[in-house]
Amino acid sequence: MQTTLPNRLFIRNRANLAAQLPPKSIAVFTANEPMPRNGDEFYPFRQQSDFFYLTGINEENAFLILAPDYPDERLREILFIEPYDEVKATWQGEMLDAQQATGISGVKTVQGSDAFWMTLNDIVYSGYGDTIFLNSYEYPKYECAVETIQQRFVKDVKQRYPMHRYGRTAPILNALRMIKSEDEIAITRHACDITSKAFRRCLETVKPDLYEYEVQAEIEYIFKQNNATGHAYAPIIAGGRNACCLHYSKNQSQLHDGDLLLFDIGCEYKNYSSDLSRTIPVNGKFTERQKQCYNAVLRVMKEITQLYRPGGCINEINETTHRLMEREMIQLGLFTEEDVKRQDPNKPLERKYLMHGMSHHIGLDVHDSIDKFKRFEPGMILTCEPGIYIREEGIGIRIENDLLITEGEPVNLFEGLPIEIGEIEAAMQR
Ligand code: GLY
Ligand code: MN
Ligand code: MN
């Protein structure tokens, strides 16, 4: 597996965006900044996903201008990177130079970031930049108490050019990012392969009395050994009742003989996510009741997997899953047919045991998009993740695969990874 992404990916991404901008538009983007932690410490740097999508650059203090109609071809795409700084290079390591930046991104014109506002002025006031497109993070569940560099940048540009028209790149980029190129599919497959390895290692090592964090350590060892950047999200390693807490991520409890263990883990590789859930018995053998519940979820998963075809949508998958799981829950004795007839339609009984959505797009962000009504098209990669959470029995089960939409059957990027009870038990016996 190559260690850098080919720049044709970013060249193509910029071309696709430029093709959708109205005439005389310019689009401007800023890189992320490091998030302060304390003292002179920062959280690990993670590039803003759209900026990475358009440049492949993983550095702070960088900007991108796209001006597709600008007469001078050399100024239609300009990448700005941090100018060389002796002190910074001494303390933090070699800095990217212009030649390297061109190699990574495919952008031919590279300037120092200290020249950004001057160059932007030139282009904006040239008569070829009537509408300025700015990027915002438009995710329905996003709540952020601190102002991000992207938000400050939007304000700053608008303040400098108050008389211009403005447009939003987010809807265009969200739609483009939903359809993965061959390069992105290959990289996501690789992320899924690393995550699979980590889960397989857990099948061999999990046993009663371990702590959840010890299992997490096994996962992190495999992620690191395979050059993953880290986790794509906070990993959930949840024994017994902990699995009924949907965003459990303390991972501090001891694993008990007879309990189930729910994993929701995914590495990030070259900034691309994977997202896997599996549920296994701590001692290697499911009890009869655990088998009943597990197979109920697995049956539904197999059925809804068939809906991941062109024309389908997340909303249909959610509704079908709730309907099918309701039947399964009746079989499991959680409530009766009569109870369902009498239930408040606004509070279906099954929601007590299944309270989350069943699918989202993955990509540069683990929740790349959750547009419930967007029809599936080949090249999309979505999760399929039904579950059941029976708090009173200490049973929490989720099973999650990542599926690539094709013209025909979806392709499971975790194909071959143990999922049947027999496969899990056999892998744990070794
Ligand atoms: N791991 C987050 C999710 O499954 O959606
Ligand atoms: Mn997950
Ligand atoms: Mn997921």
Reference 129, options 72, 79, 52, 49; nearest CA is 72
Q: State which of 264, 314, 402 you would mutate to test the pocket of ligand 1, scoring each by most atoms of that ligand within 8 A of its C-beta.
A: 264
Single-letter code of the amino acid located at 299 = R
Kindly give the number of the ligand 1 atom that is closest to the alpha carbon of 385.
4
Calpha distance 243→237 (Å, rounded) = 8
Q: Is residue 17 part of a domain?
A: yes
Backbone angles phi, psi at 424, to 5 degrees: -65, -45
Residue with the smallest CA separation from ligand 1 atom 3 is: 275
Q: Which residues line ligand 1 (CB under 6 A)?
A: 233, 264, 275, 360, 366, 385, 400
12 and 144 within one domain? yes
- Centroid of ligand 3 to alpha carbon of 400 (angstroms): 7
Is 360 marked active-site?
yes
Q: Are 17 and 38 in contact (CB under 8 A)?
A: no
Q: How many CB atoms lie within 10 A of CB 162?
A: 7
Kindly give the number of the ligand 1 atom that is closest to the alpha carbon of 236.
1
Q: Is residue 351 part of a domain?
A: yes
124 and 171 within one domain? yes
Last residue of a domain, one of 157, 176, 195: 176
Kindly give the number of the ligand 1 atom that is closest to the alpha carbon of 266.
1
Kindly give the number of the ligand 1 atom that is closest to the alpha carbon of 400.
4
391 and 322 within one domain? yes
pLDDT of residue 256: 98
**Neighbouring residues of 382: CB distance < 8 A, sequence distance ≥ 6:** 308, 314, 359, 360, 361, 362, 376, 402, 403, 405
pLDDT of residue 313: 98
- Centroid of ligand 2 to alpha carbon of 257 (angstroms): 25
Residue from 8, 160, 165, 356 carrying the catalytic annotation: 356
Is 130 marked active-site?
no
401 and 295 within one domain? yes
Kindly give the number of the ligand 1 atom that is closest to the alpha carbon of 277.
4
Q: Compute CA 293 distance to the chain's CA centroid, rounded to the nearest angstrom.
A: 28
pLDDT of residue 1: 41
126 and 193 within one domain? no
Q: Is residue 2 part of a domain?
A: no
97 and 16 within one domain? yes
Q: Is residue 171 part of a domain?
A: yes
pLDDT of residue 80: 98
pLDDT of residue 179: 97
Is 385 marked active-site?
yes
**Neighbouring residues of 143: CB distance < 8 A, sequence distance ≥ 6:** none
Residue from 77, 264, 365, 368 carrying the catalytic annotation: 264
Q: How many CB atoms lie within 10 A of CB 123?
A: 21
Its domain, for residue 281, covers 182-429
Is 183 marked active-site?
no
- Centroid of ligand 2 to alpha carbon of 271 (angstroms): 16
Calpha distance 169→25 (Å, rounded) = 11
283 and 135 within one domain? no
- Centroid of ligand 2 to alpha carbon of 152 (angstroms): 32
Is 259 marked active-site?
no
Instruction: Print the SS3 string covering 17-39.
Output: HHHCCCCCEEEEEECCCCCEEEC
Angle separating helix axes 182-205 and 421-429, nearest 10 degrees: 60
378 and 350 within one domain? yes
pLDDT of residue 339: 98
As given in the structure block, the two tokens for residue 412 are: 């499971």
Residue from 184, 220, 275, 326 carrying the catalytic annotation: 275
Report how many helices (DSSP H) and strands (DSSP E) the chain contains, helices first. 13, 19
Calpha distance 326→103 (Å, rounded) = 54
- Centroid of ligand 1 to alpha carbon of 300 (angstroms): 18
pLDDT of residue 139: 87
- How many degrees, rounded to 5, is the angle at CA 44 between CA 39 and CA 45? 110
Kindly give the number of the ligand 1 atom that is closest to the alpha carbon of 360.
5
- Centroid of ligand 3 to alpha carbon of 304 (angstroms): 15
Number of the ligand closest to the Cα of 278: 2
116 and 55 within one domain? yes
Number of the ligand closest to the Cα of 382: 3
Residue from 189, 294, 398, 402 carrying the catalytic annotation: 398
Calpha distance 10→57 (Å, rounded) = 10
CATH number of the structural domain spanning residue 97: 3.40.350.10
Q: Is residue 214 part of a domain?
A: yes
| Global confidence as pTM | 0.96
Calpha distance 144→35 (Å, rounded) = 13
Q: Are 28 and 64 in contact (CB under 8 A)?
A: yes
pLDDT of residue 428: 97
Is 402 marked active-site?
no
Per-residue model confidence as pLDDT tens for the chain (430 residues)? 445 799 999 999 999 999 999 999 999 999 999 999 999 999 999 999 999 999 999 999 999 999 999 999 999 999 999 999 999 999 989 999 999 999 999 999 999 999 999 999 999 998 888 999 999 998 888 888 889 999 999 999 999 999 999 999 999 999 999 999 999 999 999 999 999 999 999 999 999 999 999 999 999 999 999 999 999 999 999 999 999 999 999 999 999 999 999 999 999 999 999 999 999 999 999 999 999 999 999 999 999 999 999 999 999 999 999 999 999 999 999 999 999 999 999 999 999 999 999 999 999 999 998 889 999 999 999 999 999 999 999 999 999 999 999 999 999 999 999 999 999 999 999 6
Q: State which of 366, 389, 398 you would mutate to test the pocket of ligand 1, scoring each by most atoms of that ligand within 8 A of its C-beta.
A: 366
- Centroid of ligand 3 to alpha carbon of 389 (angstroms): 16
- Residue 294, CA distances (Å) to 33, 235, 401, 423 in order: 44, 21, 15, 13
Q: Is residue 198 part of a domain?
A: yes
Calpha distance 353→355 (Å, rounded) = 6
Q: Is the dihedral of CA 197, 200, 204, 210 positive or negative?
A: positive
Is 367 marked active-site?
yes
168 and 52 within one domain? yes
Q: Is residue 283 part of a domain?
A: yes
pLDDT of residue 15: 98
Reference 25, options 17, 33, 37; nearest CA is 17
pLDDT of residue 352: 97
CATH number of the structural domain spanning residue 403: 3.90.230.10
379 torsion bin: left (phi>0), alpha (psi -120 to 50), beta (else): left
Q: Are 126 and 70 in contact (CB under 8 A)?
A: yes
Q: Are 56 and 5 in contact (CB under 8 A)?
A: yes
Which residue's structure tokens are 């002796």?
86
Calpha distance 38→23 (Å, rounded) = 46
Number of the ligand closest to the Cα of 402: 3
pLDDT of residue 188: 98
197 and 146 within one domain? no
Last residue of a domain, one of 149, 176, 203: 176
pLDDT of residue 269: 98
Q: Is residue 311 part of a domain?
A: yes
Q: State which of 247, 317, 383 you would mutate to test the pocket of ligand 1, scoring each by most atoms of that ligand within 8 A of its C-beta.
A: 383
As given in the structure block, the two tokens for residue 262 are: 């729910």
Q: Pairing between strand 401-404 and 411-412?
A: antiparallel
Last residue of a domain, one of 118, 144, 176: 176
Reference 47, options 367, 274, 271; nearest CA is 271
The total of structural domains in the chain comes to: 2
287 and 187 within one domain? yes
